[in-house]
Amino acid sequence: MKRFSYSIEVPKELGLYSKPIVSKFIETLTDPRSWKGHQFEFVSVQSPPSSTLRRTSRHVGDVPSQRLGKVQPNSKNHIRIIFARNVQIKNTCGFTGLSCADTINKIVYINERNWRCPPKVSGLSLQEYRTYLILHEIGHIIGKNHPIKCGKVGTKMDVMTQQTLGKCTKINTKNVWP
């Protein structure tokens, strides 16, 4: 099993609450239907914040929620997840309206606008979209690419399909899991 640690950065100016974000990442990445079921393990170096919702300007919490074993936050297997506005994504990734992954430096940039309100063309509910977004972008970090073609009519979409853009949504059924 390949092991990664991850941390989440939510800039204070975005006005997002950190507790549900950290909880959603932990819940998604530890679910057996996620990449975990494909021999990947993801360990948060943060614990979910206390029961009071709070905002942070850097990392959310600083107490490990799980034992890291051989994976430490500054290792080559550490993923930084950064919530960002379109302007930062454009400066970093060269486009807007989407999230993106820097696979060399293992940084995921989450588009805060899509996190708040998923594109209608995806056909996904807010919770489905967030699950999809997490697994899609982490999929890039672990070496997965967008499929070249849609699957056969009526089959489930590959989680690496660009559902944010509505790709294959008229041919395949929506799917948020690998």
In the chain, where the domains are located: 2-149
Supply the pLDDT for residue 47: 59
Angle, to 10 degrees, between the axis of helix 126-141 and the axis of helix 18-29?
60
Alpha-carbon distance of 56 to 166, in angstroms, equals 33
Supply the pLDDT for residue 69: 44
Alpha-carbon distance of 171 to 34, in angstroms, equals 23
- Name the band, by pLDDT with cuts 50, 70 and 90, for residue 3: very high
The residue among 33, 25, 38, 41 whose CA lies nearest residue 177 is 33
Q: Whole-prediction pTM value? A: 0.85
Supply the pLDDT for residue 155: 94
Residue 152 has pLDDT above 60, yes or no: yes
How does pLDDT run across 46-102, given as a tens digit for each residue? 755 443 333 333 333 333 333 334 445 657 899 999 999 999 999 999 998 999 999
How does pLDDT run across 92-149, given as a tens digit for each residue? 999 989 999 999 999 999 999 999 999 999 999 999 999 999 999 999 999 999 998 9
Alpha-carbon distance of 77 to 73, in angstroms, equals 8
CATH among 3.30.450, 1.10.10, 3.40.390, 3.30.70 for 2-149: 3.40.390
Alpha-carbon distance of 6 to 42, in angstroms, equals 7
What's the per-residue H, E or C state across 96-155? CCCCEEECCCCEEEEEHHHHHCCCHHHCCCHHHHHHHHHHHHHHHHCCCCCCCCCCCCCC
Supply the pLDDT for residue 46: 76
Supply the pLDDT for residue 73: 61
Beta-bridged to residue 3, according to DSSP, are: 41
How does pLDDT run across 12-44, given as a tens digit for each residue? 999 999 889 999 999 999 999 999 999 999 999
Sheet with 2-9, edge to edge strand ranges: 40-44, 2-9, 78-84, 107-111, 100-102
Q: What are phi and psi of 90, to 5 degrees?
A: -65, -45
Supply the pLDDT for residue 76: 83
